């Protein structure tokens, strides 16, 4: 994008790729008008904020939210476009602009293969806009009247397996949290091949002999931008919480272990990340990032499959051609222990007590694995085979704890065991953290199945908690009940409290006890709100032994 002159005062084009979310937004916000002038009106009812803010990059002007007390700034560049010679390099400082940047449109998402919808992740949970290599943008929602308010800041890192997603996903709308007092920031970061490609040539040209963590370095750059600029939006740079879900949660966990992120945030929220991902088979937290040598070999394999002559030649290939290349099944683009962003694996960093020690809220969902075929629907024979494959010589002990004599019982036993495994894995991580941390941790278990009469099998699926924490249920097309509204109000209040003072507790909400390694309990968030154990002692001991074996 050319930043010498920027104007976003245009009529947005409605394409097939974004039609459904647009229609839903218009129904919810404009139906009272009776008619919608799509050729002249913006997608949301909003008015331009008349007073520009003055950043080091230049003047910027936003729009009002649905609530006119909230100011929204979309598509703010926090780094230079990572294109051409900047492809596969650390993010560079953002370019200044002339005139006033009209921050009324989300920037494009980073390069990815667009799914748009992949149940249980319907359109509201997926990126719906355009994509580009020029994608390092962030978005801000603020209810502050001036820079002196210094409101607490929440920076949200999206999920998507490090291969998809963006900060403009519909359920990440920051307005409800801004109305409760936060400054909300959502960000894009480089994904897949463009965000996590390690290669010996890239490491050799690096001042730090490192390659591969470009997406994570983008996150650091965004946090630095927040430190330098958020005061202008009424935020407090000394009171920043970083939150993320799934790959975003892994990112946040890695940020707590990175020396580059030191001092950039003051507490973290880790949703369905380490621990919760045990339901997906990720039972060893050392595998959250891979050694540089391994990822360089991984990158060289892709390099060979592409038939490339050099990294410089690869930089000249258009992005759409690069992602069209068939990736060998052994190749993955994933965080790297690169000796720069990450010096060692996270358990080692925590074991040494060298992490960025800040309060942590972390948890998982009851049905994390429900997107996988066969979840909760297993024949007895399949269940027994799974038990033998996963637990080996411990299979008999496992089946004694999770018995089944019918196909129906087998499916239920499998679901229960996966929930218990995630709870025990997360408890184990919290215990390891407690050995060196001087700050508090708070654990949750989200068990509310999103109302979905057509697809009840997904339950409290991976990502289901997000619209509750953001309090954006009205953005998701489901038959919500009054109980859902109460739960979303409670969960968003917990988030606001934690982001404000490092504890979810406050007036009018059930008390949430700080983590105690001698009595591991979770705040259960569902039909009932209670602080309770998830697994009994016998199952906990069995699963701890299994996890210890996996970590060897």
Q: Per-residue pLDDT averaged across 483-499, rounded? A: 98
Comparing 197-211, 314-328, 414-428, the range with the smallest average pLDDT is 314-328
Tell me the two tokens of residue 145.
Answer: 């009247």
Of 164, 368, 447, 465, catalytic: 368
Q: Are 6 and 101 in contact (CB under 8 A)?
A: yes
Q: Which helix (H) or strand (E) holds 270?
A: strand 267-271
The closest of 486, 511, 467, 491 to 175, measured between CA atoms, is 467
Q: What's residue 187's pLDDT?
A: 98
Q: Summarize pLDDT for 93-127 with one digit per residue, the tens.
A: 999 999 999 999 999 999 999 999 999 999 999 99
Q: What's residue 394's pLDDT?
A: 94
Tell me the two tokens of residue 137.
Answer: 């943008």
Q: What's residue 23's pLDDT?
A: 36
Q: How far apart are CA 80 and CA 49, in angstroms?
A: 26
Q: How far apart are CA 12 and CA 43, in angstroms?
A: 7
To the query of whether residue 368 is one of the catalytic residues in this protein, the response is: yes
Q: How far apart are CA 482 and CA 113, in angstroms?
A: 37
First to last CA, the chain: 48
Q: Are 195 and 162 in contact (CB under 8 A)?
A: yes
Q: How far apart are CA 431 and CA 547, in angstroms?
A: 14
- Residue 17 banded pLDDT, cuts 50, 70, 90: very low
Q: Summarize pLDDT for 33-59 with one digit per residue, the tens.
A: 332 333 333 333 445 566 899 999 999
Q: How far apart are CA 497 and CA 152, in angstroms?
A: 10
Of 158, 199, 266, 462, catalytic: 462
Backbone φ, ψ for residue 175 (5° rounding): -60, -45
Q: Summarize pLDDT for 527-544 with one digit per residue, the tens.
A: 899 999 999 999 999 999
Q: What's residue 106's pLDDT?
A: 98
Q: How far apart are CA 178 and CA 510, in angstroms?
A: 22
Q: What's residue 107's pLDDT?
A: 97
The closest of 78, 109, 98 to 2, measured between CA atoms, is 98
Q: Per-residue pLDDT averaged across 290-304, rounded? A: 94
Of 46, 211, 246, 251, catalytic: 246
Comparing 84-93, 210-219, 313-322, 353-362, the range with the smallest average pLDDT is 313-322
In DSSP terms, which residues pair with 337 in a beta bridge?
291
To the query of whether residue 246 is one of the catalytic residues in this protein, the response is: yes
Q: How far apart are CA 126 and CA 114, in angstroms?
A: 9
Q: How far apart are CA 110 and CA 135, in angstroms?
A: 5
Round the average pLDDT of the chain to a whole number and report it: 89
Comparing 188-192, 412-416, 463-467, 496-500, the range with the smallest average pLDDT is 412-416
Q: Are 4 and 98 in contact (CB under 8 A)?
A: yes
- Residue 292 banded pLDDT, cuts 50, 70, 90: very high
Q: Per-residue pLDDT averaged across 471-500, rounded? A: 98
The residue assigned the tokens 């991976």 is 462
Q: Summarize pLDDT for 67-83 with one digit per residue, the tens.
A: 999 999 999 999 999 99
Share of the chain above pLDDT 70, in %: 89
Residue 286 has pLDDT above 80, yes or no: no
Q: Which helix (H) or strand (E) holds 502?
A: none
Pick the CATH number of 16-551 from 2.40.110.10, 3.40.50.1820, 3.60.20.10, 3.40.50.300: 3.40.50.1820
Q: Summarize pLDDT for 408-429 with one digit per residue, the tens.
A: 999 999 999 999 999 999 999 9
Q: How far apart are CA 185 and CA 242, in angstroms?
A: 9
Q: Summarize pLDDT for 175-186 with one digit per residue, the tens.
A: 999 999 999 999
Share of the chain above pLDDT 90, in %: 81
Comparing 6-20, 119-133, 341-355, the range with the smallest average pLDDT is 6-20
Q: How far apart are CA 496 and CA 392, in angstroms?
A: 45
The model's pTM is 0.90
Residue 302 has pLDDT above 70, yes or no: yes
Q: What's residue 328's pLDDT?
A: 81
Write down the H helix ranges in 362-401: 380-391, 395-401
Q: How far apart are CA 490 and CA 126, in angstroms?
A: 25
DSSP structural state of residue 128: -
Compute how many other C-beta atoms are within 10 angstroms of the C-beta atom of residue 542. 21
Q: Per-residue pLDDT averaged across 316-333, rounded? A: 88
- Residue-by-residue DSSP string for 411-428: HHHHHHHHHHHHHHHHHH
Q: Summarize pLDDT for 374-401 with one digit per residue, the tens.
A: 787 789 999 999 999 999 999 999 999 9
Q: What's residue 172's pLDDT?
A: 98
Peptide bond into 187 cis (omega under 30): no
Q: What's residue 280's pLDDT?
A: 65
Residue 24 has pLDDT above 50, yes or no: no
Tell me the two tokens of residue 377.
Answer: 């629907």
Q: What's residue 281's pLDDT?
A: 63
Q: How far apart are CA 529 and CA 487, in angstroms?
A: 9
Residue 204 has pLDDT above 80, yes or no: yes
- Return the sign of the alpha-carbon dihedral for residues 357, 236, 268, 111: negative
Q: What's residue 282's pLDDT?
A: 67
Q: How far apart are CA 153 and CA 439, in angstroms?
A: 19
Q: What's residue 104's pLDDT?
A: 97
The residue assigned the tokens 């992005």 is 319
Q: How far apart are CA 508 and CA 501, in angstroms?
A: 16
């Amino acid at each position: 994008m050319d930043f010498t002159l920027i104007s976003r005062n245009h009529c947005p084009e409605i394409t097939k790729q974004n039609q459904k979310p647009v229609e839903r937004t218009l129904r919810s916000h404009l139906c009272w008008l009776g008619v919608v002038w799509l050729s002249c009106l913006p997608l949301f009812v909003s008015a331009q904020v008349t007073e520009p803010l003055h950043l080091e990059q230049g003047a910027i002007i936003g729009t009002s939210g649905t609530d006119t007390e909230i100011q929204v700034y979309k598509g703010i560049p926090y780094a230079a476009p990572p294109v051409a010679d900047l492809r596969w390099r650390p993010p560079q400082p953002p370019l200044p602009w002339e005139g006033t940047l009209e921050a009324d449109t989300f920037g494009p998402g980073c390069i990815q293969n667009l799914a748009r919808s992949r149940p249980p992740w319907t359109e509201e949970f997926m990126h719906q806009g355009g994509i580009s290599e020029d994608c390092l943008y962030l978005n801000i929602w603020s209810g502050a009247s001036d820079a002196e308010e210094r409101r607490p800041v929440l920076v949200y890192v999206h999920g998507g397996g490090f291969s998809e997603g963006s900060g403009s996903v519909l359920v990440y709308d920051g307005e409800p949290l801004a109305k409760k007092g936060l400054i909300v920031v959502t960000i894009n970061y480089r994904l897949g091949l463009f965000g996590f490609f390690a290669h010996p040539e890239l490491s050799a040209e690096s001042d730090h002999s490192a390659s591969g963590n470009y997406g994570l370095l983008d996150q650091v750059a965004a946090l630095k931008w927040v430190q330098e600029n958020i005061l202008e939006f009424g935020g407090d740079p000394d009171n920043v919480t970083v939150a993320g879900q799934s790959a975003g949660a892994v990112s946040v966990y890695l940020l707590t272990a990175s020396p580059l992120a030191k001092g950039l945030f003051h507490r973290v929220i880790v949703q369905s990340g380490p621990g919760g991902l045990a339901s997906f088979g990720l039972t060893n937290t050392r595998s959250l990032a891979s050694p540089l040598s391994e990822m360089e070999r991984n990158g060289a394999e892709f390099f060979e499959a592409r038939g490339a002559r050099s990294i410089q030649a690869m930089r000249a290939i258009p992005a759409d051609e690069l992602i069209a290349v068939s990736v060998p099944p052994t190749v993955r683009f994933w965080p790297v222990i690169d000796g720069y962003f990450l010096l060692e694996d996270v358990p080692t960093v925590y074991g040494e007590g060298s992490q960025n020690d800040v309060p942590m809220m972390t948890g998982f969902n009851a049905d994390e694995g429900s997107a996988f075929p066969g979840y909760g629907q297993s024949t007895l024979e399949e269940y027994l085979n799974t038990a033998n494959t996963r637990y080996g010589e411990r299979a008999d002990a496992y089946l004694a704890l999770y018995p089944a004599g019918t196909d129906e019982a087998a499916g239920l036993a499998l679901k229960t065991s996966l929930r218990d495994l995630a709870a025990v894995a997360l408890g184990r991580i919290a215990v390891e953290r407690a050995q060196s941390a001087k700050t508090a941790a708070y654990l949750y278990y989200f068990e509310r199945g999103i109302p979905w009469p057509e697809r009840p099998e997904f339950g409290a699926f991976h990502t289901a908690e997000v619209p509750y924490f953001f309090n954006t249920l009205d953005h998701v097309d489901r038959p919500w009940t009054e109980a859902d509204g109460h739960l979303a109000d409670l969960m968003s209040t917990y988030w606001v409290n934690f982001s404000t003072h490092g504890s979810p507790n406050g007036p009018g909400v059930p008390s949430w006890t700080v983590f105690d390694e001698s009595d591991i309990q979770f705040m259960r968030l569902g039909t009932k709100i209670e602080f309770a154990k998830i697994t009994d002692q016998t199952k906990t001991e069995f699963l701890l032994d299994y996890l210890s074996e996996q970590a060897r």
